[in-house]
Chains A and B, each alone.
Chain A
Amino acid sequence: MTNSVPEIGQYSDVIFIIGSNTAECHPLIARQVIKAKERGAKLIVADPRLTEMANKADIWLRVPAGYNISLINGLLHIIVKENLYNSDFVQNHAEGFDEVARAVEDYTPAYVEKLTGIPQQDLVEAARFFGRAKNATILYCMGVTQFSYGTGNVVSLSNLAVVTGNMGRPGTGVNPLRGQNNVQGACDMGCLSNVLPGYLAVTDEKNRARFEKEWHVRLPSKPGLRIPEIGDAILNGRVRAAYVFGENPVMSDPDSSHLRHAFEHLDLLVVQDIFLTETARLAHVVLPAACWGEKEGTFTNTERRVQRVRKAVNPPGEARDDWWIFSALAQKMDYGRMNYLHPQEIWDEVRRLVPEKFGGISYDRLEKARGISWPCPAEDHPGTPFLYEGGKFATASGKANLRPVFFDPTRLPEEKVKQFKHALAGKITELPDEEYPFTLTTGRRGYHYHTGTMTRKSWPITQVTPQQLIEINPRDARKLGIEDGDFVKLSTRRGSIAAKAWVTERVPEKTVFTSFHFWEANVNELTINSTDPVACIPEFKVAAAKVEKITPAEFQAILQEKKKKYLVDLEEEVAGQSKSGRREAHV
């Protein structure tokens, strides 16, 4: 996030939530939105589903899944036309305004209505709220990024924030709500194929030299493979060994059957985890890891706030901290610069190597503070809750770069792109057709988490929400003879799953929604591995699908198939082997 979470409740007077089911996926951020609303802030929500935030919105823009760019360009069109943009900010702190203004000329409210079905009046009103706000903030999530043109979506949002001058002040900004406890931290620490810790490009010799000195090795200069590319790389023989820790790609990656098939071809699969996950069941070697509550360290939340996590109990049996396992393995492979004794030593190495971001964030300071937001270069630096103060951006010119973005659902608007410098464009990879007439969109539910490895083993949660549901609009359900609670089969060109139907107005007509929490019906068997050319993020949010009503007996048959496919019994079997050895007392 460019800004911090408490600023929403305190300063924002217009909140624009797009592609984020905040109430379910980030309830404590949604709480800040409610706080702001009770203070008088206006809430605009763009989402195909009637989420709880949409339900509470002053204006709900029911944008069809995939059409964000049209909507945002439409808002920009009105803001430019009605002179609601911040001309000072645009002049002094941005580059490319004229290009963007010219690019959104075609996106009139009438055109946007034709494309998306959003009533013109709603769009105009939303643009006026946003344009006239003192402090407008944008909150977005995977409903913006998980497209083959996700980068374009994000750039459109930053255009909107910059054009209206909503950057560099409390309660403003472009704020991705990150989905995992430490997804920010894993990126910060260089767990990306193109950057070293601190987002230092691997291709830059100076950056490599910084780490080579400390690590005593020559580092590779070529960016590595990105996750969506690994399946094919295994199948064509380029990758022979994979090491997976704390991730369950067999459940969480798009078109998961393809990746699973690839994993079965590996010469070596090492999985390091806390349970025998669906991925671990395919491994040659499984290494037991300590989990949260059993180890020391730091997490970095969505606001860039680095926080201490602490050990409360001992790990079970022989389970070890992940850092210990990597260190021990490195020593077995004769690498001597990874002999750590405590996470603090590792963190101090990070601080030493990337002082410009983390230098001032010491364990000592974290002992007292409720986290410190990076960049924090020195021990006497307070940290940076919001970025770009005074409109100073992290670009060569110090100004924000605006870039035109175009969208056409059916074909890439290439001729448009050619007319502009640095323009981006997108189209939907797989549109509904006669055979697959529904748009399938995916996401999480409030009460479970990702592949269910943890929440499905926490009984109070499973007790209130035990099973997968497929959301379908009442009109579609009626046409297909489906009643609430009937079993349905949901298929795409990549596979099919079966679960109970939830007949609800939450989804628009001709759209179905479900989650990836349950192996019994994992929607990622259906999603498409079509990726963004810049970020390589897959298009989880739109695929063409069909829905059929099935009998309970047919459902049972499919369930048995899935049980075999995911080797479900293996987990109990292995757990049975090592049930000895109770947890030792806390030290």
Chain B
Amino acid sequence: MVSCSEKGRTERVLTVCPYCGTGCGLYLVVEDGRITGVEPDSLHPVNEGELCIKGYFGYQYIEDDRRLRSPLIKKDGKFTPVSWDEALNFAAARLAKIKQESGPDAFALFASARATNEENYVAQKFARAVMGTNNVDHCARL
């Protein structure tokens, strides 16, 4: 199933499964800049060289055509691709206005159990240090 092809450049990148909390070790097989398969990490103490259906086959979404490729702003009820600058300026101006009018606690952040530690740290720092609220929570609550 996962065989490294002879032609082209093949790399194996060691990482951790993105699905449940077990945290199995696995290698992403990368050929010519595309992920073509997954191999279990036999040295990982938790999964010891085995994976489940999601670990082996749950990576195809990465290359799905429906991935978001550009910031979008809803204009007249229709999503319109915009530049990062425009999207961030739009969000920043609205957030600042709401904070000024209704105070920091008029903002709430849903953080992510799917993103990295670093990203979650930065997210809560944004809520607490930039917006000035403790309204930050995520689905660990659920």
Chains A, B in direct contact (C-beta < 8 Å): yes
Whole-angstrom distance between the alpha carbons of A306 and B16 in the complex? 10
Given contacts A254-B142, A268-B98, contact A246 B112 (CB under 8 A): yes
- Taking a contact as CB atoms closer than 8 A, the residue among A185, A202, A313 that contacts B117 in the complex is A185
Tell me whether A337 is interfacial, beta carbon within 8 Å. yes
Residues of B within 8 A of A6 (CB): 45-46
Most buried by A among B22, B87, B133: B22
CB-CB contacts below 8 Å: A170-216 with B: 177-194, 196-197, 202, 211, 215
How many chain-B residues does the 8 Å CB contact rule pick out?
A: 103
Return the contact of B59 from the options A202, A293, A308 (Cβ within 8 A).
A293
Chain B minimum-CB-distance residue to A540:
B142
Q: Considering residues B44, B51, B70, which has the most beta carbons from chain A within 10 angstroms of its beta carbon?
A: B70
* CB neighbours of B33 from chain A (8 A): 313-314, 583-586
Instruction: With both chains docked as a complex, state the minimum distance between the C-beta of A181 and any C-beta of chain B, in angstroms.
Output: 5
Q: Which residues of A contact B110 (CB under 8 A)?
A: 227, 230, 242-245, 247, 249
Question: CA A71 – CA B46 in complex, angstroms?
Answer: 31
Q: Closest CB-CB distance, B112 to chain A, in whole Å? A: 3
- Segment of A159-167, A415-423, A447-455 in the binding face: A447-455
The dominant DSSP class at the B interface is mixed
Task: Kindly list chain A residues whose C-beta atoms are within 8 Å of the C-beta of B136.
Answer: 190-193, 224
Q: Which of B47-102 contact A (CB under 8 A)?
A: 47, 50-55, 57-74, 79, 81, 84, 87-92, 94-96, 98, 101-102
A154 to B40, CA, bound (A): 33
Chain A residue contacts of B89, Cβ below 8 A: 332
Chain A residue at minimum C-beta to C-beta distance from B116 = A297
What total of chain A residues lie within 8 Å of the partner, measured CB to CB?
154
Looking at B58, B63, B101, B134, which has the most chain A CB atoms within 10 Å of its CB?
A: B134
Q: How far in angstroms is the closest Cβ of chain A from B132?
A: 6
Interface segment among A61-69, A484-492, A570-578: the answer is: A570-578
The residue of chain B having its C-beta at the shortest distance from the C-beta of A280 within the complex is B68
B35 and A318 contact, CB distance less than 8 A: no
- B41 contacts A by Cβ under 8 Å: yes
Q: Does A270 contact B (CB under 8 A)?
A: yes
In the assembled complex, B6 has its CB within 8 A of some CB on chain A: no
Contact A461 B54 (CB under 8 A): yes
Interface flag for A108 (CB, 8 Å): no
A480 at the A/B interface (Cβ < 8 Å)? Answer: no
A301 shortest CB reach to chain B, Å? 3
Give Cα A197–Cα B25 distance, bound, in whole angstroms. 26
Q: Let me know if A287 and B87 touch, CB within 8 A.
A: yes
Known interface pairs A244-B110, A322-B122, A347-B117; A193-B62 also in contact (CB < 8 Å): no
Interface membership of A379, Cβ < 8 A: no
Chain B: CB-nearest residue to A370 = B44
* Chain A residue nearest in CB terms to B18: A292
Question: Chain B residues near A390 (CB, 8 Å)?
Answer: none
Question: Which residue on A lies nearest to B65, using beta carbons?
Answer: A575
B134, A27: Cβ atoms closer than 8 Å: no
Q: B61, A457: Cβ atoms under 8 Å?
A: yes
Is there contact, CB below 8 Å, between A586 and B30?
A: yes
User: From residue B14, how far is it (CB to closest CB) to chain A in Å?
Assistant: 6
**Known pairs A313-B33, A459-B60; A307 contacts B141 (CB<8 A):** no
Contacts of A238 in B (CB 8 A): 105-106
Q: How far is the CB of B124 from chain A (nearest CB, A)?
A: 5
Question: Within the assembled complex, what's the spacing in Å between the Cα atoms of A276 and B72?
Answer: 10
Contacts of A326 in B (CB 8 A): 119, 122-123, 125-126
* A525 at the binding interface (Cβ < 8 Å): no
B115 interface residue, CB < 8 Å from A?
A: yes
Query: B121, A349: Cβ atoms under 8 Å?
Result: yes
Interface residues in chain B, defined as those with a beta carbon under 8 Å from any beta carbon in chain A: 11, 13-25, 28, 30, 32-35, 41, 43-47, 50-55, 57-74, 79, 81, 84, 87-92, 94-96, 98, 101-102, 104-130, 132-142
In the assembled complex, 15 residue pairs joining A and B whose CB atoms fall closer than 8 Å, in A order, are A181-B18, A186-B112, A187-B138, A192-B137, A193-B134, A224-B108, A228-B141, A246-B119, A274-B61, A300-B23, A303-B46, A312-B15, A326-B125, A461-B54, A581-B69
Known pairs A27-B22, A197-B124. 4 more at Cβ < 8 A?
A28-B51, A224-B135, A246-B115, A575-B65
